[in-house]
Amino acid sequence: MASAFVVRVMRPTTRLPVILAAVAAIVVVLVGGSILLTSGPAPTASAGASAATPGSSDAPSGAPTESPSPTVTPIPSSSAFFPGGLLIADRGNGRLLVIDDAGTIVWRFPTVAGALPAGQKFTADDAFIDPNGKTIVANDENHQVIDRIDIATGKIVWQFGQYGVAGPGKTQLHTPDDAYPLANGDIIVADIRNCRILEIAPDKTIARQWGKTGVCTHKAGVTFGEPNGDTPLPDGGLLITEITGSRVVRLDAAGNVVFDIHVPVLYPSDAQLDENGNVVVADFSSPGQVVAVDPTGKLVWRYGPTSGPGMLNHPSLATPLPGGLVVINDDGRDRMVVIDPATGLIVWQYGHTGTASTKDGYLSDPDGHQPLPVGFFPIPSP
């Protein structure tokens, strides 16, 4: 197997500065190499910081200034960001990957003949493993479908939507996003341009709908302005992200509004909750950013270098990890990164910054990910 490209570190106690002549040379490290990449100043935390209006030419408030040159520090090889592996929807390459911390690919799709229905292509935006660990559900915005993939056989065994055709019908989708498999066998999806959230049963009937088809105005709990996130929560509720108006709405299991807040980003994408109950949301812009706000909308922290190696380009999903770290799809820079919001550092990376390729260790416009539970894939112990 070809050497993978990984940057992997823990929080340092000392730093060994290394001067790098060019940004392109910053993170060229083979498997087994461990470095710390200083990507910018510590994130801004500001109570009551003003928020940018979607579509405005004004930069988001509190954005860090230009990043300094990176530094590097060797670290122990025993850290584990993803003990169960990391699932990546590598959209530009039309594939799914499961990797370990070192960047070793332990599973990929598609690889076998007949993996896809005849005549179809695959460009998944997001992918999430079923709670039973037997299938992966992927949404394909470009082709207006949701696929269920059998892990053992590597084949699509179920599909919802009309391939290549967008529509508002009960068996159609229009730009489906964040298709999550549920423990009851259903799939929940944000149907962006139809302005609705659907729960789809295995027999392809609609078990439940939030929002009104084609009504794309914000009225919390009733109608939604182009929802692109529908994160299921442990209490049975949902965390819904709306592009229009940059809003995040939390619903309980009965559909009641728990909170309805504005988030200070231009283009919110796929909001998540961290272990403290704060909302973490990516800004699908360039330069991009990731922010955390509390349930009232007050800014907790912001990561958003505007230049340099730490700058994000259209990040689409930021998932909080245990201990306060956050893993991010940096779509436009062809990489996955883990940041430490407390220090403003990138502490792990998979992919070559700004270089797309199908080779092992590279990505192309990665648009989705999921840190996996332990035990579903053969991930070596650190």
Q: What is the CATH number of the domain that holds 74?
A: 2.120.10.30
For residue 271, the tally of other CB atoms under 10 A from its CB is 28
Mean pLDDT for 299-303 is 98
The Cβ-side half-sphere exposure at 198, using a 13 Å CA radius, reads 28
Q: How many separate domains does the chain show?
A: 1
Q: In the chain, pLDDT over 70 holds for what percent of residues?
A: 79
Kindly state whether residue 212 falls inside one of the protein's structural domains. Answer: yes
- Tell me, yes or no, whether 191 lies in a domain: yes
User: What is the average pLDDT score of the chain?
Assistant: 84
Token pair for residue 157?
């065994």
| Alpha-carbon distances of 267 from 218, 291, 317, 339, rounded to whole Å | 15, 12, 12, 20
**What is the pLDDT at residue 116?**
98
Structure tokens at 50: 């003003």
Higher pLDDT, 54 or 311: 311
**Please, which pLDDT band fits residue 8 given cuts at 50, 70 and 90?**
low
What pLDDT is recorded for position 378?
83
**And the tokens for 128?**
């999430």
Residue 382 maps to a domain:
no
Asked, for residue 208, whether it belongs to a domain, the answer is: yes
- The answer to the question of residue 293 being in a domain is yes
Flag whether 379 is in a domain.
Answer: no
The answer as to whether 378 is a domain residue is: no
Residue 161 has pLDDT above 70, yes or no: yes
Structural domain of 243: 6-371
Asked if 228 and 216 count as a contact pair (C-beta separation under 8 A), the reply is no
Q: Does 314 have pLDDT greater than 80?
A: yes
Rounded Cα distance between 298 and 290, Å, is: 14
Nearest to 99 by CA among 86, 108, 109, 111: 86
Residue 377 lies in a domain: no
102: amino acid identity, one letter: A
Q: How far apart are CA 281 and CA 140, in angstroms?
A: 21
pLDDT in tens, 53-65: 333 333 333 333 3
